[in-house]
Amino acid sequence: MEEREISQAVIRRLPRYYRYLGELLEHGVERISSNDLSKRMKVTASQIRQDLNNFGGFGQQGYGYNVKYLYTEIGKILGLNENHNIIIIGAGNLGQALANYSAFESRGFILKGIFDVNPRLTGVTIRGIEIRMMEDLKDFVRENDIEIGVLTIPKTKAVEVANLLVDNGVKAIWNFAHTDLNLPDNIIVENVHLSESLMRLSYNITRYNEEHKND
Ligand code: NAI
C-alpha cells in the first residue's frame, strides 16, 4: 500500500466506517457499493470514495467494496490488528467505569493495570485486575511494556502524572482530565471531553427550539 500522510479529518471518520463494516460483516454482507454504504451512513458516496481512495481505494468498478477486506484494511490502518497494553490512572468513577468495559479488549486494548493514590483502594480488583498505588507505577510501566496511559484523575494532577508516564516510556495518553497536557511532540495525546459533546448537543437543542418556537 502506498504510504502517505492521511488527513486527521479522514482518520476521525475511519472508526465509523469500521463500525458500519463490522455490522455488515455480522449480517453476512460480502460486498457493498459506495452508494449503499452512503445511504446507511448518511454521508455522500463521493465522500466515501474520496476517503477510501486514500488507501489506494479498495473498491472495484461495478463490484463495490469487499466488506471483509475493507474492514480488515481499515482495522490495520487503525492499528487494531495489534495489541496495545494500557493502564488507567485514577480509579474513581470514570476510571472504574472504563476498567469495567471489557469491549476495549476485543479491539486489542489490553488493560494491564489500574493505579490510584487512595490507599483505601489498595487490593480492590476490577475484572480481576488489582488497583495499585502510584509508588509501583514506574516499575510496572517498564516491566509490562505499557504503551497507553489513560488519565482519569483530577485536572490539577494530570500534567504531573502525564510527565511521569512519558518519562517511563509511555507513548500515548488518552486524556479525560479537563486540561491540556503540552507533552513533547512525539507523544500522542487523544483528549476526550464528554462535556464538549454535551455542549454541541446543547447548541443544537437551543437552535432547534429557536427555529420551532412558533410551531
Ligand atoms: P473521582 O474523584 O471519582 O476519581 C478520581 C480518582 O483519581 C480518585 O480515585 C483519586 O483518588 C484519584 N487520584 C487523585 N489524584 C491522583 C494522582 N495524583 N494519581 C493517581 N490517582 C489520583 O472522579 P471521576 O468522576 O472519576 O473523574 C475523574 C476525572 O475525569 C476528573 O478530572 C473529571 O473532571 C474527569 N472527567 C472527565 C470526563 C470527560 O469526558 N473528559 C467525564 C467525567 C469526568
pLDDT tens digit string along 150-197? Answer: 999 999 999 999 999 999 999 999 999 999 999 999 999 999 999 999
Q: Residue 57 pLDDT > 70, yes or no? A: no
Q: Tell me the C-alpha to C-alpha distance, in Å, between residue 148 and each of 40, 117, 164, 169, 174.
A: 33, 19, 13, 10, 7
151 lines ligand 1 (CB under 6 A): no
157 lines ligand 1 (CB under 6 A): yes
Dist. CA 207 → ligand 1 center (Å): 32
Residue 93 assigned as binding residue: yes
Q: Is this complex's ipTM strictly greater than 0.95?
A: yes
Q: In ligand 1, which atom is closest to the CA atom of 192?
A: 41
State the Cα–Cα distance between residues 165 and 187, nearest whole angstrom: 11
User: Which residue of 133, 160, 176, 201 sits with most ligand 1 atoms within 8 Å of its CB, as the best mutation to test the pocket?
Assistant: 176
CATH of 84-196 given 3.30.420.40, 3.40.50.10860, 3.40.50.720, 3.40.50.970:
3.40.50.720
46's enclosing H/E stretch is helix 45-53
Residue 92 assigned as binding residue: yes
User: Whose grid coordinates read 496495545?
Assistant: 84
Domain edges within the chain: 8-77, 84-196
For the whole model, what pTM was predicted?
0.89
| 8-77 and 84-196 agree in CATH topology | no
The predicted-structure confidence for 67-85, as pLDDT tens digits, reads as follows 998 899 899 989 998 999 9
The CATH class for the domain spanning 8-77 reads: mainly alpha
